[in-house]
């Protein structure tokens, strides 16, 4: 239903602004509560996380009590549900059909029987593949599992082959627990709403200096940062930036984060800079001889390419003389985009 139709149907409808920063914050708190309860978690996406109970079953007295502890750690606000099985896809499928607050455990010998009546929409397939399978009369996972694997791969390719394996339960894979996220962030609150890019860039520079001065960083460079803002209308905005090379240089960090400020949809009242991931400090190899000649030109061209990729095609220019005899300084030369 479109927004206009919804408002016409229900005039008292209240529109909720998107708040990705709050979603990220709440999700991180839920993961931390699970980790505090002893579970090594591997996030899949917002709202989906996998973990093993093997290491905590003795602590809580079995699988069922351990899963109940995980459910309590997440909290009832999220309407959590848990699926447990020996294979990851079966566990995710069980969680998707469980009721809020329910723990659904699928025994190893019952996995195939459990998957058979479930809809194909649980499989990671594109819309075109779903339509193709429905055209062939397939609606359930069990119907796909009954087909020969070679025929499915020949008709649907690698995507179909993967779906066919998942229809048989998928492979057993280990859960790779994440490294606990660091709590390293700086916030700048503005007395009035700000939308001027120059002011925002100055605020970003102040946040970078404060973040670099934090003792918790212990000299480690940044691998991934997130820029978040509280919008004047009450919503929020958030962008994460993964650096190609971990760095703690202010200039490079400004170049990576600065262009994101142009994506703000509205004036803001608060700007927040978060260190999502730090790299290990391994030192930097210094050169005995300064690069010169072709090597220096190559480095310069690469640097110009990075600048143009991050700030746009018109950011790298060259000065070309057109009328050096002119008495007007502005007419003696032109600034034109430079090919690198």
Q: For the segment 89-130, what is each residue's pLDDT rounded down to a tens digit?
A: 999 999 999 999 999 999 989 999 999 999 988 888 888 888
- Please give the average per-residue pLDDT across 249-274, as a whole number: 91
- Banded pLDDT at 22 (limits 50, 70, 90): confident
> In the chain, at which residue ranges do the beta strands (DSSP E only) sit?
41-45, 48-51, 82-84, 103-105, 185-194, 222-231, 236-247, 268-278, 317-321, 333-337
Nearest to 260 by CA among 269, 272, 249: 272
Give 203's contacts (C-beta < 8 A, 6+ positions apart): 188, 190, 194, 271
More confidently predicted of 322 and 204: 204
Tokens of 230: 């509280």
- Going from the C-alpha of 39 to that of each of 59, 132, 168, the distances in angstroms are 11, 40, 28
pLDDT digits (tens, 9 = 90+) for 155-169: 888 888 888 999 988
Domains of the chain, residue spans: 17-167, 185-278, 294-337
Nearest to 277 by CA among 311, 310, 301, 241: 241
Is pTM, for the whole model, over 0.75? Answer: no
| Mean per-residue pLDDT over the chain, rounded | 86
| pLDDT over threshold 80, residue 287 | no
| pLDDT over threshold 80, residue 297 | no
More confidently predicted of 330 and 238: 238
CATH number corresponding to 185-278: 3.30.1490.100
Residue 24: per-residue pLDDT? 84
């Amino acid at each position: 239903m479109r927004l206009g139709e919804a408002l016409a149907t229900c005039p008292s409808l209240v529109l909720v602004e998107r708040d990705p920063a709050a979603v990220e914050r709440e999700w991180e708190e839920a993961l931390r509560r699970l980790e505090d309860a002893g579970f090594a978690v591997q996030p899949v996406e917002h709202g989906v996380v996998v973990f093993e109970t093997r290491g905590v079953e003795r602590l809580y007295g079995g699988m069922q009590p351990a899963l109940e502890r995980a459910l309590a750690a997440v909290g009832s606000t999220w309407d959590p549900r848990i699926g447990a099985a020996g294979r990851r896809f079966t566990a995710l499928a069980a969680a998707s059909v469980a009721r809020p607050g329910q723990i659904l455990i699928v025994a190893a010998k019952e996995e195939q029987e459990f998957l058979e009546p479930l809809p194909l929409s649980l499989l990671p397939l594109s819309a075109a593949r779903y339509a193709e399978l429905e055209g062939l009369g397939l609606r359930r996972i069990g119907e796909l599992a009954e087909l020969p694997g070679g025929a499915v791969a020949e008709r649907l390719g690698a995507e179909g082959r993967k779906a066919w394996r998942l229809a048989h339960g998928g492979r057993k894979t280990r859960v790779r627990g994440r490294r606990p996220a660091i709590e390293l962030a700086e916030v700048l609150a503005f007395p009035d709403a700000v939308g001027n890019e120059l002011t925002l860039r100055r605020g970003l520079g102040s946040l970078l200096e404060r973040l670099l001065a934090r003792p918790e960083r212990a000299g480690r460079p940044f691998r991934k940062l997130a820029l978040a803002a509280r919008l004047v209308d009450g919503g929020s905005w958030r962008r994460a930036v993964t650096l190609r090379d971990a760095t703690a240089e202010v200039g490079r960090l400004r170049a990576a984060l600065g262009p994101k400020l142009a994506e703000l949809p509205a004036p803001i009242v608060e700007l927040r800079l978060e260190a999502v991931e730090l790299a290990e400090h391994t030192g930097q190899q210094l050169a005995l001889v300064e690069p010169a000649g072709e090597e220096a030109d190559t480095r310069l061209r690469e640097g110009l390419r990075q600048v143009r990729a991050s700030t746009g095609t018109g950011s790298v220019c060259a000065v070309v003389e057109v009328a050096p005899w002119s008495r007007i300084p502005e007419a003696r030369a032109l600034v034109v985009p430079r090919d690198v």
